[in-house]
Structure 1
Amino acid sequence: MQTPATLMRGGTSKCWIFDSRDVPADRAALTALLIDTFGAQDPRQLDGVGGGTSVTSKAAIVSRSADPSFDIDYLFAQVAVGESVVEWGSNCGNCATAVALWAVDTFDLAHGAPSTEVRMRNLNTGAEVTARVDTEEHEATVSVPGVRGAGTAVDLAFINPVGSTTGSLWPTGNHRDELTVDGLTVAVSMADAGAPVALVEADSLGVSAAATEEQVRQYVPMLRKIRARAAVAMGIAPSIDEAFDAIPKVGIVGPPVDYVTSLGEPVSASDYDVSVRMLSMNNPHPTIGLTSAVAIALATTATDSVLGPVGQPANAASATSTLDVRVITIGTLGGTLRCEVEISADGSRVLLRRAARRLADSQLYVR
């Protein structure tokens, strides 16, 4: 059996995109299809189309939305690497970038304007994401940190992302908590916006805020244990043993310092506001997942979290303006990411600039 699919690069991820009409609606059958086509059970995914890493082992199933408030619905799948598992509990902002560009072309959403707005609903979390796709140039003109290569400009806006999984920005009721793992007590801030995150203070863990990929990898076993305990504290998992590796997203945070990116580019401490080293499943993320960036950006509204007082007010609310705008720049292994946060009486938006590119249109063989 053959199944059509398109391989896209969205931001700093690669994602196989399926039209929902071409794959099973039944979740168990869809899971089996993805495990087989990706070769998920193999750590290198040699007998499948997966990329062998968590940021290249992703899929999205896309359809026209029946809700007039949205143009498309998409279901995100994180396919495991080395296990016969598909995780359905989270969203992926980088893949949303690819979904938006794919939908413009597949569903003929462009109408001759310089840019096309795509209103998207993530079916995993119910999150509302609006993308503005460059349909005038529609060429590879925009680069993002952590990627050597350009793509079509796609601006993303996460609309009212607070509490997407737990119902609260601060699920534990605190801006800062302590968790004890193997006799070590670490300071952790647990927030939920876009995705639930557990942010570990670098100093309390005993690691540099600008750790290299190799240094982060040494802390993966400890970070997995912290994530499991955070999942229970946030109400995501009933017990440590039942916690998943996908959420909450877990990472190390600290103040900005000078460092060199994984691509060999120097970054000055003055270029960004907060240093972040996230995991993607059980490996260091080469940059940062956009949903994690959204959570971090909104968590900066509390100055007593492990992030501290970070971010630059771009347009403070005044008597004539109820809109408060802040800009937060995050330093990651692959480079810096700029997030713009808008907070008003109607809620919040987090805006990010990304890029996407179509890599291949394929027929995947399914056993």
Structure 2
Amino acid sequence: MTQTFIPAVFYRGGSSKGLFFHARHCPPDHAVLERMLLSALGSPDPYGRQLDGMGGGTSSLSKAVIIGPPTHPDADVDYTFAQVAVDRPVVDWGANCGNLSSAVGPFAVDEGLVCAADGEALVRIHQVNTKKIIHARFPVRNGKAVTTGNATVDGVAGTGAPIALDFLDPGGTVTSGLLPTGQVIETIEIDGRAFDMSLVDASNPVAFVAANDVGLAGSEHPDTIETDRAVMALLDRLRRAAAVRMGLGQTPDSVGLANPKIAVVSAPATFVTLDGRTVEGAAQDIAIRMLSMERAHRAVTLTGAMCLAVACRIEGSLPHRLCSGHADMQAIRVAHPSGIVEAGATVFQRGNGWHVESGRVYRTARRLMQGEVAIAPFEGEGDR
């Protein structure tokens, strides 16, 4: 039994990293594809480190992307995202990664899937998981995506070329609409306690709950949240109950790991980032602590930041109540454990409901490795 080697590119996109594959290099059988991705990333790993693969032991570093020809008339490429669990043999296909979305355009240009002249390139991306269109704009020189520049991303060392991502009509990605229940506030009971939550699906579904309602200040570091087993258990129960309300599961036990995300939100307050900087309350509009794949994020998912920016503009929602800036602001300044990210959204009332036209964020990306990734022999295979 010998290893198989699959052509791949390793990218950082925003504050995430992942393996990028051409669709033509991936096995058509879905079960075989999942085994391939688990092996490539090094999952499942009961030690939580993914030392036997390319993963980094956290949800933001255990991801894969598959790029293929477009199946949508308004797109240049198809982009499918896979979230690979660290400690379980699970590949979740139910969500998008906003951070890795920033690397899709550069990958498409560098791999010759999209031809781009020098200047600003536009790559139209069909995000297969959510069935939405993303426009990526970034600089190109000599037929390749530029990686150097002055743009910064909190949580990422150094600088890079700016990549603008426009998420078109991002409401209702995997649920029935922007507000899946039709309500801006839902009350969920856990052990006789009532929790006000806003359940919003914009670029990805997120269940928002107030920090003080779950015994947090909203400025905690991720490790502090993770070590509080009672809080983690409560947040998981709230997430699963919210998922049932959003139509993402028949029962709490049937809800997957990836969707919806649960996010703890709070009003602006001074906090210290993971790299030791002090961020004053005046520099932010709302604070978030997000959980993904049952882990507390060290930054914030890009789709989570965008969903929060959208929610902040929906009158009466929980984020709207806590946000210091609303429709008069061009972008919402979202505070997270690594710093600040700005996310803009065009949201308006239409009839008796709310509609989001688009959302915009800026990221950076860089190709870190190209070549072939080793896939360990699957149990039961014969010699190759």
Q: TM-score, normalised by structure 1?
A: 0.93
2:338 match: 334
Distance in 2 (CA, whole Å) between partners of 1:312 and 1:205 is 24
2:306 match: 294
Paired AA for residue 167 in structure 1: S
Q: Counterpart of 1:47 in 2: which secondary structure?
A: coil
| Contact 1:300 1:311 (8 Å CA) reproduced | no
12, 16, 39: which one pairs with 2:19?
Answer: 16
1:320 match: none
Correspondences of 1:181-200 after superposition (within 5 Å) = 181-200=190-209
Q: Counterpart of 1:151 in 2: which secondary structure?
A: coil
| Contact 2:332 2:344 (8 Å CA) reproduced | yes
Aligned-residue identity in percent: 34
Correspondences of 1:233-244 after superposition (within 5 Å) = 233-244=245-256
Correspondences of 1:63-74 after superposition (within 5 Å) = 63-74=68-79
Bigger Cα displacement from structure 2, 329-338 vs 65-74: 65-74
Distance in 2 (CA, whole Å) between partners of 1:256 and 1:10 is 27
6, 10, 15: which one pairs with 1:7?
Answer: 10
Going from structure 1 to structure 2, the CA distance change for 1:144 and 1:110 (only over 3 Å counts) comes to farther
| Contact 2:207 2:261 (8 Å CA) reproduced | yes
Question: 1:269 Cα deviation (Å)?
Answer: 0.5
Distance in 1 (CA, whole Å) between partners of 2:133 and 2:236 is 29
| Contact 1:151 1:356 (8 Å CA) reproduced | yes
Residues 84-122 of structure 1, C-alpha deviations (whole Å, 9 max, x = no match)? 110011111101111221111112535333110010011
| Contact 1:44 1:81 (8 Å CA) reproduced | yes
| Contact 1:79 1:85 (8 Å CA) reproduced | yes
Paired AA for residue 105 in structure 2: A
Distance in 2 (CA, whole Å) between partners of 1:246 and 1:327 is 27
Bigger Cα displacement from structure 2, 303-312 vs 98-107: 303-312
Distance in 2 (CA, whole Å) between partners of 1:139 and 1:203 is 41
Correspondences of 1:1-367 after superposition (within 5 Å) = 1-42=4-45, 43-107=48-112, 109-136=114-141, 138-141=146-149, 142-217=151-226, 218=228, 219-309=231-321, 310=323, 312=325, 326-343=330-347, 348-366=357-375, 367=377
Distance in 2 (CA, whole Å) between partners of 1:15 and 1:285 is 16
| Contact 1:189 1:199 (8 Å CA) reproduced | yes
Going from structure 1 to structure 2, the CA distance change for 1:190 and 1:340 (only over 3 Å counts) comes to same
Distance in 2 (CA, whole Å) between partners of 1:343 and 1:302 is 7
Paired AA for residue 42 in structure 2: G
Going from structure 1 to structure 2, the CA distance change for 1:247 and 1:275 (only over 3 Å counts) comes to same
Q: Counterpart of 1:16 in 2: which secondary structure?
A: strand
Distance in 1 (CA, whole Å) between partners of 2:356 and 2:294 is 33
Distance in 1 (CA, whole Å) between partners of 2:203 and 2:72 is 21
Distance in 2 (CA, whole Å) between partners of 1:236 and 1:113 is 44
Unaligned 5+ segments in structure 1 are 317-324
| Contact 2:313 2:347 (8 Å CA) reproduced | no
Distance in 1 (CA, whole Å) between partners of 2:324 and 2:212 is 20
| Contact 1:311 1:329 (8 Å CA) reproduced | no
Distance in 2 (CA, whole Å) between partners of 1:192 and 1:302 is 12
| Contact 2:313 2:326 (8 Å CA) reproduced | no
Paired AA for residue 224 in structure 2: Q
Residues 266-304 of structure 1, C-alpha deviations (whole Å, 9 max, x = no match)? 111011111100012111111111111221111112232
Paired AA for residue 107 in structure 1: G
Distance in 2 (CA, whole Å) between partners of 1:140 and 1:122 is 26
| Contact 1:110 1:135 (8 Å CA) reproduced | no
Distance in 1 (CA, whole Å) between partners of 2:122 and 2:93 is 26
Q: TM-score, normalised by structure 2?
A: 0.89
Q: Counterpart of 1:296 in 2: which secondary structure?
A: helix
Unaligned 5+ segments in structure 2 are 378-384
Aligned length: 358
| Contact 1:216 1:284 (8 Å CA) reproduced | yes
Question: 1:312 Cα deviation (Å)?
Answer: 4.0
1:321 match: none
Going from structure 1 to structure 2, the CA distance change for 1:53 and 1:238 (only over 3 Å counts) comes to same
Going from structure 1 to structure 2, the CA distance change for 1:280 and 1:242 (only over 3 Å counts) comes to same
| Contact 1:109 1:116 (8 Å CA) reproduced | no
| Contact 2:267 2:324 (8 Å CA) reproduced | no
Distance in 2 (CA, whole Å) between partners of 1:154 and 1:260 is 27
| Contact 1:76 1:92 (8 Å CA) reproduced | yes
